[in-house]
């Protein structure tokens, strides 16, 4: 009864209102009830990974190549992309960078491929989880990932088609690396399509539906892409900023010589050039073009309207032209900048010349920086005998004449500098049809422009400029004069900037109407052995003269003796034995420039930055004949210490520029040669830094001087007390050395006994080495059985460069490496390749510098003659 009563009490009475119905949500479908995600094929994703890895590698190669072009001399031979190839044309084109930030397009490829790799990974691991629900969630993420991957792939293919059309239709060339990336884009996209089990009829809707329902993977990929792009840009810009000056210094050491070899059109002796200048200048220049409009104005004087006069150096003939030459700026010149600008920059250039383009790129930021202080003038010097009689009929640059005429005629319609920029930006396409296209792009009156091309006045203008070059003794391009002072070659922006800055300072400090007086030169016998100097870290003492080493191994700083030809190791030991030390780079540059040096780019070097004081120890600008810096490259030698009386700082430090490059750096990792040597010309300066070879480099271009914190009592020595350079090695036994060949064998002079040995030193940047090393394989095959052994020693500071270089030739002979140049330093080597022929007694019988194919038979006969001797 009690239970029944309880049940009755729990029932609602008749008066109780009915319960309000409670709304219900549909239950979440279980894994069994939910529609399945699309099945993902894992095989295509694995293949895609290979495509993406290849894409990243090729992109990094393109980035490195672009850096080499921007920071070096545009020589991309080491990438298999030599000048004149389609690859080189595409990479030199402005279309190889993005139009917004000016960064290499390949820089954005790396984040794209990494993002695709991330999505591919999510798709590959899809379907994993401990519960059905977690597995379903993973499958949904994988579905969104693979469909997002497909969408990105389609975009990369469209971008590839656009870039390919630009290459073919605009540039007219294709790049093998770029074509590889196009293949990567299409291959990866096909893999994504196969992995997604996609159908063409609903592919677009499926992509957007999957992203909408499961946005996690696409959002993560987007964030990854943004982060990697930002990081890539920061890393690229920081690397570029830090490496810019370092690479420029290396380019000066190596590419500058290539520039002179490629663009110098004559080896006429200086006397002959001087004698011919007047006659050459007067030929064909009687007629001048009429009615040429100027941009920004022009005057008939190279120096403009100055209010003060500076001391003009006496012009001296150099291999690059007169050291000082005030080129006439005429009414038919097209001038960029104010007509009354205090500084005038006149360049002699050719639109098809590669180094002229580099000079143009280096000048562009300065055109904006000094738009009120500098006027810029171009004088045409096309390297083509069709319009330049001084080329003797040679057509080095087949389109150079047409390009000069096209630019001049654009100038007649007020568009010279616009055409100037287009021609250098499209240097690989200067044919007549392309030139007309550029004229149309600039909106020129084409019939008028075409009439101008054949007008006598146009040819007369080009001849006038060539005649001006003749007056200056110029036989190659590019050349630039800043207020009359020669700056040869494709000078870095920092060097041009320095010349402009110092020209402005010189004009401001000059007294109106008066010539500036030359600095007084004190007698050399009154110069102390050490001079006090100052860097940002404080005062120090530096030797007044380049050091010699006495027979007891002490460093000696005295005038009128032969300086020591030393390695960094020799110099460090001799300075320390004398109670001193090698100068730091900061100290050396501070003493040379007369102002505390600043490491502007924070790379721990000081000779590769903007010059804080003067560029030359004797003054602001180069003056030929002041220092020993213009000796014949093949026959010249260093001179006595202090022999050039004017090659000194106001404080009395001699020969910091020219004579010998000087070792600096207290630690091996800091070792660098500073100041240039007896062949350097204007490049022998306070900001010249050479690090081509390792610290063991020793030859007739390397020397040193010492520094100390306190003055050290001088050590005197007579010439007969000093160590002498080894001199010519011909007829002498091999110096003692030891190298280890790649198979682990120790090679010393003892290994030459009883055999004829051909010992050669090579470097990866050496063009002649590319001819020599494969030829040596033939010699090995033919003559090894008769007793010839060949040993090739790579001397790149980065050993990997030598290793990768020689692999191309599959050497059958012994190969060793000498990255510190310790062995090389024993052989007085200053050019690559340098080779030695050694007889069976270990005596050096012949020295060969360079390797010319046409002289191979003569060299080989020397080898066979020695083999015939028993």
- Checking 708-711 for CB contacts under 8 A at 24+ apart, the result is 708/530, 708/540, 708/541, 708/579, 708/580, 708/581, 709/540, 709/541, 710/541, 711/530, 711/532, 711/541
Reply yes or no on whether the pLDDT at 583 is more than 60: yes
Is the pLDDT at 263 greater than 80, yes or no? no
What are residue 535's phi and psi, to 5 degrees?
A: -115, 180
Kindly provide the b/e burial profile for residues 345-384, where b requires at least 16 CB atoms within 10 angstroms of the residue's own CB: bbbbbbbbbbbbbbbbbbbeebeeebeebbbbbbbbbbbb
Question: Which residues have CB under 8 Å from 334's CB, separation 6+?
Answer: 292, 293, 294, 295, 298, 377, 378, 408, 411, 416, 417
Strand partners, 324: 485
Q: What is the pLDDT of residue 17?
A: 41
Give 33-42 pLDDT, tens digit per residue: 445 556 788 8
Question: By mean pLDDT, which of 42-56, 141-155, 300-314 is the weakest?
Answer: 300-314
Q: What token pair was written down for 276? A: 């011919």
Which of 545, 589, 582, 402 has the alpha carbon at shortest distance from 600?
Answer: 589
pLDDT at residue 368 above 50?
Answer: yes
Asked whether the domain spanning 739-868 has the same topology as the one spanning 270-509, the reply is yes
CATH class assigned to 42-240: mainly alpha
270-509: what CATH class?
A: alpha beta
Looking at 647-755, which runs of residues are DSSP E strands? 661-664, 672-674, 689-690, 702-704, 706-708, 739-740, 746-747
Provide CATH code, domain 518-725. Answer: 3.90.1580
Most confident by average pLDDT, 12-21, 326-335, 519-528:
326-335
Beta-bridge mates of residue 377:
335, 346
Q: Give the Cα separation of 290 and 46 in Å (integer).
A: 70
Which DSSP state fits 741?
Answer: B
User: What percent of the chain is predicted at pLDDT more than 70?
Assistant: 80
Residue with tokens 């093998």: 176
For the cut 60, the answer to whether the pLDDT of residue 270 exceeds it is: no
pLDDT bucket at 276, cuts 50 / 70 / 90? very low
Burial of residue 316 (number of CB atoms within 10 Å: 0-12, 13-18, 19+): middle
- Find the range with the poorest average confidence among 174-178, 256-260, 531-535, 763-767: 256-260
The residue written with tokens 């600043």 in the block is 598
pLDDT at 246: 54
pLDDT > 90? residue 66: no
Query: Per mean pLDDT, which range of 26-40, 194-208, 344-358, 618-632 is the poorest?
Result: 26-40
Cβ neighbours around 652 below 10 Å, total: 17
Q: What is the pLDDT of residue 92?
A: 67
H-helix or E-strand spanning residue 346: strand 343-349
Q: In this predicted structure, what is the pLDDT of residue 203?
A: 62
Residue-range domain boundaries for the chain: 42-240, 270-509, 518-725, 739-868
The structure tokens listed for 147 are 């469909």
Which pLDDT value is given to residue 344? Answer: 97
- DSSP assignments along 667-679, one per residue: SGGG-EEES--TT
Peptide bond connecting 478 to the previous residue in cis, omega within 30 degrees of 0: yes
- Domain at 739-868: CATH code: 3.40.30.10
Residue 405 in this model has a pLDDT that exceeds 50: yes
- Omega before 833 cis (within 30°)? yes
DSSP 112-134: HHHHHHHHHHHHHTTT--SSHHH
What distances in angstroms separate CA 322 from CA 270, 326, 479, 480, one per listed residue? 10, 10, 10, 11
């Amino acid at each position: 009864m009690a239970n029944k009563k309880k049940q009755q009490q729990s029932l609602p009475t008749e008066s109780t209102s009915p319960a309000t119905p409670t709304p219900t949500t549909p239950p979440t479908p279980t894994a069994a009830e939910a529609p399945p995600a699309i099945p993902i094929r894992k095989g295509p994703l694995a293949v895609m990974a290979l495509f993406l890895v290849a894409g990243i590698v090729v992109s990094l190669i393109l980035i490195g190549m672009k850096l080499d072009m921007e920071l070096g001399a545009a020589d991309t031979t080491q990438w298999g992309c030599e000048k004149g190839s389609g690859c080189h044309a595409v990479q030199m084109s402005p279309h190889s960078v993005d139009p917004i930030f000016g960064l290499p397009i390949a820089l954005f490829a790396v984040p794209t491929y990494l993002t695709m790799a991330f999505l591919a990974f999510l798709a590959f691991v899809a379907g994993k989880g401990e519960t059905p629900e977690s597995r379903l969630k993973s499958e949904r993420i994988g579905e969104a990932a693979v469909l997002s991957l497909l969408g990105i792939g389609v975009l990369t293919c469209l971008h590839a088609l656009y870039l390919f059309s630009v290459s073919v239709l605009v540039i007219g060339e294709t790049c093998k690396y770029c074509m590889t990336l196009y293949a990567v884009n299409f291959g990866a996209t096909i893999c994504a399509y196969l992995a997604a089990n996609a159908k063409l009829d609903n592919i677009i809707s499926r992509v957007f539906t999957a992203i909408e329902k499961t946005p996690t993977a696409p959002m993560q990929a987007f964030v990854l892409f943004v982060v990697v792009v930002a990081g890539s840009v920061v890393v690229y810009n920081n690397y570029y900023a830090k490496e810019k000056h370092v690479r420029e210094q290396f380019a000066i050491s190596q590419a500058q010589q290539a520039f002179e070899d490629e663009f110098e059109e004559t080896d006429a002796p200086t006397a002959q050039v001087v004698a011919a200048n007047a006659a050459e200048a007067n030929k064909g220049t009687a007629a001048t073009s009429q009615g040429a409009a100027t941009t920004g104005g022009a005057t008939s004087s190279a120096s403009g309207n100055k209010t003060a006069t500076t001391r003009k150096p006496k012009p001296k003939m150099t291999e690059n032209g007169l050291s000082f030459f005030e080129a006439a700026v005429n009414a038919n010149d097209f001038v960029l900048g104010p007509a009354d600008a205090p500084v005038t920059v006149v360049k002699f250039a050719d639109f098809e010349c590669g180094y002229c383009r580099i000079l143009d790129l280096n000048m562009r930021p300065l055109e904006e920086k000094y738009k009120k202080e500098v006027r810029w003038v171009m004088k045409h010097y096309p390297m083509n005998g069709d319009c330049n009689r001084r080329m003797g009929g040679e057509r080095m640059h087949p389109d150079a004449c047409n390009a000069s005429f096209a630019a001049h005629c654009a100038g007649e319609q007020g568009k010279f500098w616009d055409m100037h920029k287009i021609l250098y930006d499209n240097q690989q396409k200067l044919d007549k049809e392309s030139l007309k296209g550029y004229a149309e792009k600039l909106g020129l009156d084409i019939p008028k422009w075409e009439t101008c091309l054949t007008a006598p006045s146009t040819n007369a203008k080009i001849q006038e400029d060539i005649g001006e070059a003749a007056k200056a003794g110029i036989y190659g391009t590019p050349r630039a004069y800043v207020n009359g002072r020669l700056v040869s070659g494709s000078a870095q922006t920092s060097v041009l900037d320095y010349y402009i800055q110092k020209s402005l300072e010189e004009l401001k400090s000059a007294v109106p109407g008066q010539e500036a007086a030359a600095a007084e030169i004190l007698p050399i016998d009154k110069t102390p052995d050490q001079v006090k100097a100052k860097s940002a870290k404080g005062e120090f003492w530096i030797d007044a003269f380049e050091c010699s080493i006495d027979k007891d191994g002490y460093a000696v700083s005295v005038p009128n003796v032969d300086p020591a030809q030393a390695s960094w190791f020799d110099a460090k030991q001799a300075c320390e034995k004398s109670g001193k030390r090698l100068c730091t780079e900061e100290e050396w540059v501070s003493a040379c420039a007369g102002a505390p040096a600043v490491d502007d780019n924070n790379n721990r070097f000081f000779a590769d930055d903007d010059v804080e004081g003067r560029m030359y120890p004797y003054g602001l600008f180069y003056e030929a004949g002041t220092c020993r810096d213009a000796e014949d490259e093949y026959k010249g030698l260093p001179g006595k210490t202090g022999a050039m009386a004017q090659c000194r700082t106001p404080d009395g430090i001699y020969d910091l520029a020219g004579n010998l490059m000087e070792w600096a750096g207290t630690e091996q990792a800091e070792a660098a040669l500073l100041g240039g040597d007896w062949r350097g010309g204007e490049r022998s300066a306070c900001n010249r830094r050479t690090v081509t070879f390792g610290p063991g480099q020793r030859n007739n271009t390397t020397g040193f001087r010492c520094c100390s914190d306190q003055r050290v009592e001088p050590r005197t020595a007579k010439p007969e007390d000093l160590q002498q350079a080894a001199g010519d090695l011909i007829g002498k036994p091999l110096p003692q050395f030891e190298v280890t060949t790649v198979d682990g064998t120790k090679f010393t002079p003892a290994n030459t006994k009883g055999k004829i040995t051909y010992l050669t030193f090579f470097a990866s940047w050496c063009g002649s080495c590319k001819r020599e090393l494969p030829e040596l394989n033939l010699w090995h095959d033919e003559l090894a059985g008769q007793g010839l052994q060949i040993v090739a020693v790579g001397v790149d500071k980065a050993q990997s460069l030598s290793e990768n270089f020689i692999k191309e030739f599959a050497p059958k002979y012994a190969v060793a490496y000498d990255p510190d140049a310790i062995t090389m330093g024993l052989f007085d080597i200053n050019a690559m390749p340098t080779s030695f022929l050694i007889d069976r007694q270990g005596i050096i019988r012949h020295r060969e510098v360079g390797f010319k194919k046409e002289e191979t038979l003569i060299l080989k006969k020397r080898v066979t003659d020695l083999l015939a001797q028993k």
